[in-house]
Amino acid sequence: MVSIIPEITRESVVYLIKEGKRADGRAFDEYREVSLETGVINKAEGSAKVKLGNTQLVVGAKTQIAEPFSDTPKMGVLMTNSELLPMAAPNFEPGPPDENSVELSRVTDRCIREGKVVDLEKLCIIEGKKVWMIFLDIHVLDYDGNLQDAAVLGAVAALMNTKVPTATVENDEVILDHEKMIPLPFNEKALMCTFAKIGDELVLDPSLEEEEIMDARISIGMRADGSICAMQKGGKKPITRDEILKAVNIAKNKTEELRKYLE
Amino acid sequence: MVSIIPEITRESVVYLIKEGKRADGRAFDEYREVSLETGVINKAEGSAKVKLGNTQLVVGAKTQIAEPFSDTPKMGVLMTNSELLPMAAPNFEPGPPDENSVELSRVTDRCIREGKVVDLEKLCIIEGKKVWMIFLDIHVLDYDGNLQDAAVLGAVAALMNTKVPTATVENDEVILDHEKMIPLPFNEKALMCTFAKIGDELVLDPSLEEEEIMDARISIGMRADGSICAMQKGGKKPITRDEILKAVNIAKNKTEELRKYLE
Amino acid sequence: MVSIIPEITRESVVYLIKEGKRADGRAFDEYREVSLETGVINKAEGSAKVKLGNTQLVVGAKTQIAEPFSDTPKMGVLMTNSELLPMAAPNFEPGPPDENSVELSRVTDRCIREGKVVDLEKLCIIEGKKVWMIFLDIHVLDYDGNLQDAAVLGAVAALMNTKVPTATVENDEVILDHEKMIPLPFNEKALMCTFAKIGDELVLDPSLEEEEIMDARISIGMRADGSICAMQKGGKKPITRDEILKAVNIAKNKTEELRKYLE
Amino acid sequence: MIKITVESDLSTGTETSARADGRAFNELRPLKISAGVLERADGSAYLEMGGNKVLVAVYGPRELHIRHMMQPDKAVLRCRYNMAPFSVDDRKRPGPDRRSVEISKITSEALTPAVFLEKFPRSTIDVFIEVLEAEGGTRCAGITAASVALADAGIPMRDIVVACAAGKSNGQVVMDLSEAEDKEGEADLPIAMMPRTGEITLLQMDGHLTGEEFERAIDLAVEGCMKISEEQKKAIKERYGD
Amino acid sequence: MIKITVESDLSTGTETSARADGRAFNELRPLKISAGVLERADGSAYLEMGGNKVLVAVYGPRELHIRHMMQPDKAVLRCRYNMAPFSVDDRKRPGPDRRSVEISKITSEALTPAVFLEKFPRSTIDVFIEVLEAEGGTRCAGITAASVALADAGIPMRDIVVACAAGKSNGQVVMDLSEAEDKEGEADLPIAMMPRTGEITLLQMDGHLTGEEFERAIDLAVEGCMKISEEQKKAIKERYGD
Amino acid sequence: MIKITVESDLSTGTETSARADGRAFNELRPLKISAGVLERADGSAYLEMGGNKVLVAVYGPRELHIRHMMQPDKAVLRCRYNMAPFSVDDRKRPGPDRRSVEISKITSEALTPAVFLEKFPRSTIDVFIEVLEAEGGTRCAGITAASVALADAGIPMRDIVVACAAGKSNGQVVMDLSEAEDKEGEADLPIAMMPRTGEITLLQMDGHLTGEEFERAIDLAVEGCMKISEEQKKAIKERYGD
């Protein structure tokens, strides 16, 4: 997964940023073109396809009835998984998820879980015995930077798109009515904004080229009311307190902007 | 698993074939010496040892009571597994089954399953709850070419050799009578014939030397009535429609020939 | 795991031994300083920390209620596991247990099991259904030779330190009273002594330096009455019958000596 | 030589209504192929056929890092057939299973004869097939799309390999089984071929066919291949012009 | 620049009694750090903080055998965060899980900025963090101990990285959440920083914080870091004298 | 030095009837060894002893591809002990478990002292032991057969290592425990040795033996080894003549 960036690329990107410009002409706080399509996989109970510039991924939601975890007997189960498919980049390898893939799915999971996107308590059918279990699979098809924001947007959209059969309980048995499909109990459209720190600047929605030379990365998950539900700093260089607060500030408008694609 | 064949070997084998001859003197449609012995492993419920020339393998059948698959609640379960043991050839590695081993077991499984060798429906004890599960393990001991035909022959022989205790149901519990052992419900002696395409010729039961230089491989699974139950083309070169039809034709007599070892 | 020992080290150690001396000044039948502390991990139901010279390990016991094995329906279950942590030596690798780790845990398990350290039959709660299961995890922190004796000492100490809640059965359900914690049913303080064969001598409690150049290794597990419960020969050179009998003889006093740390 | 004029021999004019989805015995499901759909891959293609959605990326020729797989005189063509967890009714656990290992192997063998591997010694050409949604016949769909992705990557080829299955369903030999027909059907026979020479590069069969039925099925599969081959050419032309 | 004089701004004098363990809102759990506790490792440290018991070993700089990870111009700093099976209430299966893979990654990123890696091209510095007992805040405890172990190994560093969490529990923003506070609490915000410059090398958050609460929490976490930093220095001084 | 004249010392003439299968206390199960039973392997042997059926193949000396295992001054002798899934009452899952990992290790250590490894620097000799059917004492059966296979492969050896267990069953110290005796018995003591010098290359014990019983058991195991050693020699002679 090591990718060698020519020093000259690094220098030119950094130089541009210093000049207030980005290689693709965007403003520092501008997303690339966003495209969101839902219901793209008929066999999934919910699905969404996201394009962020050339970055492309599909999120599929599969539901099944399962036992709840013993420490949360009244709550449905959400499992978030991601695969950085070898098709998506020349340096992605087949095999079990590496640390980048694990981080992507865990941060997505935290944003959705802590942002209370779905009301997991309403997914309980029989306390301690039967709950809905939702598998969210993030399938990365084309990698051109900023998977994190695309993954959260796709995950929220797929959950909004998901329908399950009505479940009723008779004599301790669960009866599913596939004629009456109902949407998941939906709470919040928590979304995530990611910035790359390059030199002294923060740039939103880093492209692959920017990610490869960035100093640090900060992702901010926000609810519609502007409260924070998740954050993750990445990268091998530090970031300052003031940069973090600045990123939080920008994220308010930018998650709002992304949220419009969910309408 | 790459094995380098000296160009000279290749040329001499191909040359001989062109002349209508094989290195070991066989006719194009002639099997090597076949030896079949059953009941060779006392701890297995059924077993068979097959030699095809120097190729040697043991098939063991183990039975146990298990739950059926949810989509086939009335059918017993057959699981076919094979191991290309590192003892069998200098280039076989220990570890989980590689693609050759997976192909061997899956094609064997298809021939037996689609050839209805065992009546799996009669292996149901309590619908949806308890059925007989048969594990067929193909243990390859010495590899000198054409594992496929040896594996199917051994698998069918092991199944014919298998005995299970009589199972009766009382109050929803299964009672096994180990005094009354009965054979599996046996339907069909479906067997398989494999040809190597070398130049413009098809040769039956390829030896290792022939396999290593062959263009393509075609395996044909047949019931006693001459109908086809399974086929698999292998190898990195193509084969023609007419060659396939010719192979099917020859296979009729040749599976019949093999079938005599099962009497 | 290959570690290259300079020939000069080997020669000097062997030379010293021939002269009746050891590099650290110990007698041939002398242990390094032993330190044993129990109850070191509050979240474990039992625990012990052992130092044998610079060798250092922690053993933790976790208990849970589980089903017994089908062939021993009246017996509790003991599972012994060890990890040679990469922190413990520069040549230890992360990953699943290698053959040295497997041998360490299996020999420890045999000494404890065959030495009847814990009365597993008294750990049965409902025959065939519910028994206590004890996980013993040997966590090797610092490796300076003779893990085996340290592991057995730590394992026995951790088991003596383990408390489980009182379990009573009402209407086929197990009720645990965490107010009434009781020790495990303890039988025997079986312990182990390990010798390295270097040249014609046996030295007790080999240091890492001695292990690296030893010819063979012999570990002897003994009960308090001097009867033998487990043995294991290691190393790539042979040992004689008389050396084995001599080791057994010395082990009587030396396991007795170690046993005092358990009081 | 394959004769493609089988249609008139087989069609009796009565079988057409017998299929659940109303197709004629020798009718393909609706098919759509696009080339060049991914940015990072050297070549790519997307295919929809009935309910199947398959995406293929090609990387290479590129350096092969696994020494024992390296061929001194040619490239290795490696395939990875993978199903998305959400592509099937019951979620599939990620990672290869025995079925996908076998399909990956035979897909590689199906494509290999068409590629001029000898032009790229010591290297690899990697074909990644992702089944995003599965509805019967995904191995053929994968091969068909992979050939287009190889062409999109500019890999020199003798021919564009194409794949299609025939089978037996409701007692009738039919082209391109749907998922429902495959599950309930009596036999399935997927093939891959090089249309120029008619040579067959993949062939599998399971089920129950007489010799005569088998011959009809293989000819029907070939016919399907020839139709799909036209769609492949269109997709490539659309991407690159003539 | 971080101002460390936050205490007087935040403290209202009423919150101190609200925590289950009786701590003030800006009070750390009892803390103990020792350096040089292992024989074989090049550097080591042991830390107890509340009910946490964490042991860290450092090996290196040493040769890196995995070629594709090697950096021609600097060392790689690898971390392995691991929990002992007996460190938690329900026995943990040995081996890495997704949580420990993520923590290992961010721990490595938290320590990397402080180490002069460019002094050791083509080599590796390996940090092994063993959680022997866990009671909330083990990732911070691991980073804090790892820095001391790196110093003990004589690895040249710009600064001694230190970590501490703040969070929200019972409606109150507090320093250094215990396990109980973390489980029941509304938010957790672990950070790591370099005390000399105030730069932040790790930051994670989950839960629910308003912008204003977030700002208070980050400042409280920084305050915790500064306190712990003193203990790190003492431990190193104790081991080596001044 | 081992004295092989133990029989008269131990036999009291009364123990013979106490064993379930009617054997005398110092009687082996029926034993059959053949050398050269496989075509591809460089050396091979097949052994039946009671209900045990064990097949061994030897490859080498050959190039060792795993660099970190390579020894500059000698060959490495690697063993893989494996049980067939159908070799035991309840089907065994394929692949190594902890038991087979341990047996593979001690088998390698049991054979190593007899082989002139220094003649083949940087190479490997691979011994593959397959237990086709298990009925107690398979590790000893494997070692005994492996020595014959090594001889069949023409590997130069100091001696033909041989293995046999003694144990305690029904209160009596006996030779070569059957599966039933091992399961119900009080102790099991497998050993391997080099008959020429009497040196012991493998020794394990589990159960309950007094010092005196242990001494009798070891001498009985040695006696068993000496008997089996004759059968090994016969098998080799049969294969190659004198």
Instruction: Tell me the β-bridge partners of C118.
Output: C186
pLDDT at position F127 is: 98
Determine which of B251-255, C4-8, D127-131, F65-69 has the lowest per-residue pLDDT on average: C4-8
Q: What percent of chain C has pLDDT over 90?
A: 93
Residue with tokens 């610079």: C54
pLDDT tens per residue across span D5-29: 333 334 444 444 579 899 999 999 9
pLDDT at position E6 is: 32
pLDDT tens per residue across span F196-208: 999 999 999 999 9
A188, two tokens: 């919040």
Instruction: State the smallest CA–CA distance between residue A224 and chain E in angstroms.
Output: 12
- CA-based nearest residue in chain B for residue F132: B41
Chains that touch B (3 or more CB pairs under 8 A): D, F
F146 closest CA partner among F162, F132, F158: F162
Tell me if D199 and B227 make a contact (CB, 8 A cut-off): no
- CA-based nearest residue in chain D for residue B237: D113
CATH at A25: 3.30.230.70
Q: Higher pLDDT residue, E208 or A4?
A: E208
Tell me if D200 and B240 make a contact (CB, 8 A cut-off): yes
pLDDT at position E202 is: 98
Per DSSP, the residues of C80-111 read EEEEE-TTS-TT--SSS--HHHHHHHHHHHHH
A220, two tokens: 């901010």
φ, ψ of residue B206 in degrees (nearest 5): -65, 140
Whether the predicted pLDDT of B26 surpasses 60: yes
Give the mean model confidence (pLDDT) for residues A65-88: 96
Tell me if A43 and D86 make a contact (CB, 8 A cut-off): yes
Is the Cα torsion angle C141, C142, C148, C153 positive or negative in sign?
negative
For chain C, say whether F209 makes contact (Cβ under 8 Å).
Answer: yes
Name every chain F residue with its beta carbon within 8 A of the beta carbon of C190.
Answer: none
pLDDT tens per residue across span E170-197: 999 999 999 999 998 999 999 999 999 9
Q: Which residues contact C89 (CB under 8 A, 6 or more apart)?
A: C143, E40
Q: Any contact of A with C, at least 3 CB pairs below 8 A? A: no
Residue of F40, F44, F88 lying closest to B43 (CB–CB): F88
Name every chain B residue with its beta carbon within 8 A of the beta carbon of F57.
Answer: 87-88
Whether the predicted pLDDT of F14 surpasses 90: no
Range of the domain at C94: 4-262
> For residues F54 and F47, is the Cβ–Cβ distance under 8 A?
yes
For chain F, say whether B49 makes contact (Cβ under 8 Å).
Answer: no
Residue of B97, B110, B228 lying closest to D214 (CB–CB): B228
Q: Higher pLDDT residue, D5 or B166?
A: B166
Residue of D53, D56, D84 lying closest to A137 (CB–CB): D84
Name every chain E residue with its beta carbon within 8 A of the beta carbon of C56.
Answer: 38-39
Tell me if C81 and E41 make a contact (CB, 8 A cut-off): no
Name every chain A residue with its beta carbon within 8 A of the beta carbon of E194.
Answer: 238
pLDDT at position B150 is: 98
CA pair distance D148, A219, nearest whole angstrom? 38
Tell me if C96 and E95 make a contact (CB, 8 A cut-off): yes
Residues F118, F120, F121, CA angle at the centre, nearest 5°?
A: 80
pLDDT tens per residue across span B192-241: 999 999 999 999 999 999 999 999 999 999 999 999 999 999 999 999 99
Task: Judge residue F68's burial from the number of C-beta atoms within 10 Å of its C-beta, 0-12 exposed, 13-18 middle, 19 or more buried.
Answer: exposed
- CA-based nearest residue in chain F for residue B144: F40
For chain C, say whether E51 makes contact (Cβ under 8 Å).
Answer: yes
Whether the predicted pLDDT of F5 surpasses 50: no
Give the mean model confidence (pLDDT) for residues C135-159: 98
Confidence grade of residue A5 (pLDDT, cut at 50, 70, 90): low
For chain A, say whether E7 makes contact (Cβ under 8 Å).
Answer: no
Confidence grade of residue F6 (pLDDT, cut at 50, 70, 90): very low
A41 closest CA partner among B127, D48, E43: D48
Determine which of A113-117, A242-246, C49-53, F67-71 has the lowest per-residue pLDDT on average: F67-71
Q: Which residues contact D147 (CB under 8 A, 6 or more apart)?
A: D111, D114, D157, D160, D161, D162, D232
Helix (H) or strand (E) holding F98: helix F98-111
Tell me if D40 and A139 make a contact (CB, 8 A cut-off): no
D121, two tokens: 């010694």
- CA-based nearest residue in chain C for residue F106: C234
| Torsion angle of C-alpha atoms B120, B122, B126, B127, degrees rounded to 10 | 60
Instruction: State the smallest CA–CA distance between residue E124 and chain C in angstroms.
Output: 12
Give the mean model confidence (pLDDT) for residues F79-86: 98
Whether the predicted pLDDT of F172 surpasses 70: yes
Give the mean model confidence (pLDDT) for residues F90-110: 97
For chain B, say whether F57 makes contact (Cβ under 8 Å).
Answer: yes
φ, ψ of residue C212 in degrees (nearest 5): -70, -25
Binding-face residues of C in 99-158 toward E, CB within 8 A: 135, 137, 139, 141-144
Q: Between A and E, how many CB-CB pairs are < 8 A?
A: 95
Q: How many helices (H) and strands (E) does chain D have?
A: 5, 9
pLDDT tens per residue across span C229-243: 999 999 999 999 999
Confidence grade of residue E242 (pLDDT, cut at 50, 70, 90): low
Whether the predicted pLDDT of F7 surpasses 80: no
**Total structural domains within chain B:** 1
Instruction: Tell me the β-bridge partners of F199.
Output: F194
Confidence grade of residue B5 (pLDDT, cut at 50, 70, 90): low
Chains that touch E (3 or more CB pairs under 8 A): A, C
pLDDT tens per residue across span F17-68: 579 899 999 999 999 999 999 999 999 999 999 999 999 999 999 999 888 8
Name every chain B residue with its beta carbon within 8 A of the beta carbon of F43.
Answer: none
pLDDT tens per residue across span E73-124: 999 999 999 999 999 999 999 999 999 999 999 999 999 999 999 999 999 9
Determine if the peptide bond prior to D61 is cis (ω within 30°).
yes
Tell me if D94 and A87 make a contact (CB, 8 A cut-off): no
pLDDT at position F41 is: 98
Tell me if A43 and D87 make a contact (CB, 8 A cut-off): yes
pLDDT tens per residue across span B90-121: 999 999 999 999 999 999 999 999 999 999 99
pLDDT at position B4 is: 59
Instruction: State the smallest CA–CA distance between residue B58 and chain D in angstroms.
Output: 22
Name every chain C residue with its beta carbon within 8 A of the beta carbon of F193.
Answer: 238
Helix (H) or strand (E) holding D111: helix D98-111
Whether the predicted pLDDT of E18 surpasses 90: no
For chain C, say whether F2 makes contact (Cβ under 8 Å).
Answer: yes
Q: What is the DSSP letter of C23?
A: T
Strands A216-222 and A228-234: antiparallel
Binding-face residues of C in 18-47 toward E, CB within 8 A: 41-44, 47
Q: Between C and F, how many CB-CB pairs are < 8 A?
A: 95
For chain C, say whether F133 makes contact (Cβ under 8 Å).
Answer: no
- CA-based nearest residue in chain F for residue C219: F204
Give the mean pLDDT of chain F. Answer: 92
Whether the predicted pLDDT of E14 surpasses 70: no
Name every chain E residue with its beta carbon within 8 A of the beta carbon of A113.
Answer: 206
pLDDT tens per residue across span C1-38: 345 566 778 888 999 999 999 999 999 999 999 999 99
Q: Residue D23 CA to chain centroid, in angstroms? A: 20
Per DSSP, the residues of E170-190 read TTEEEES--HHHHHHSSEEEE
Give the mean pLDDT of chain E. Answer: 92
Q: Higher pLDDT residue, C47 or D241?
A: C47
For chain B, say whether D149 makes contact (Cβ under 8 Å).
Answer: no
Name every chain E residue with its beta carbon within 8 A of the beta carbon of C135.
Answer: 85-86, 91
For chain A, say whether D180 makes contact (Cβ under 8 Å).
Answer: no
Q: Between A and D, how many CB-CB pairs are < 8 A?
A: 86
Give the mean pLDDT of chain A. Answer: 95
F42 closest CA partner among F137, F123, F131: F123
Whether the predicted pLDDT of A191 surpasses 90: yes
- CA-based nearest residue in chain C for residue F201: C238
Confidence grade of residue D141 (pLDDT, cut at 50, 70, 90): very high
CA pair distance E10, E203, nearest whole angstrom? 21
Confidence grade of residue C66 (pLDDT, cut at 50, 70, 90): very high
For chain D, say whether A2 makes contact (Cβ under 8 Å).
Answer: no
Residue of E98, E200, E219 lying closest to A238 (CB–CB): E200
Give the mean model confidence (pLDDT) for residues D25-36: 98
pLDDT at position F1 is: 28
Q: Higher pLDDT residue, C3 or A100?
A: A100
CA pair distance C156, E172, nearest whole angstrom? 46
pLDDT tens per residue across span C172-229: 889 999 999 999 999 999 999 999 999 999 999 999 999 999 999 999 999 999 999 9
User: C33-46 b/e with 16+ CB inside 10 Å = b?
Assistant: ebebebebbebbbb
Q: How many helices (H) and strands (E) does chain E have?
A: 5, 9
Give the mean pLDDT of chain D. Answer: 92
**pTM, two decimal places:** 0.94
Tell me if B238 and D201 make a contact (CB, 8 A cut-off): yes
Residue of F40, F86, F134 lying closest to B142 (CB–CB): F40
Residue of A223, A241, A252 lying closest to E2 (CB–CB): A241
- CA-based nearest residue in chain C for residue F71: C2
Instruction: Tell me the β-bridge partners of C32.
Output: none
For chain D, say whether A61 makes contact (Cβ under 8 Å).
Answer: yes
A57 closest CA partner among A77, A44, A40, A42: A40
Is the predicted ipTM greater than 0.85, yes or no? Answer: yes
For chain C, say whether E94 makes contact (Cβ under 8 Å).
Answer: yes
| Torsion angle of C-alpha atoms D99, D103, D106, D111, degrees rounded to 10 | -170
Q: Any contact of B with A, at least 3 CB pairs below 8 A? A: no
Tell me if C41 and E85 make a contact (CB, 8 A cut-off): no
pLDDT at position C8 is: 78
Name every chain B residue with its beta carbon within 8 A of the beta carbon of D198.
Answer: 240-241
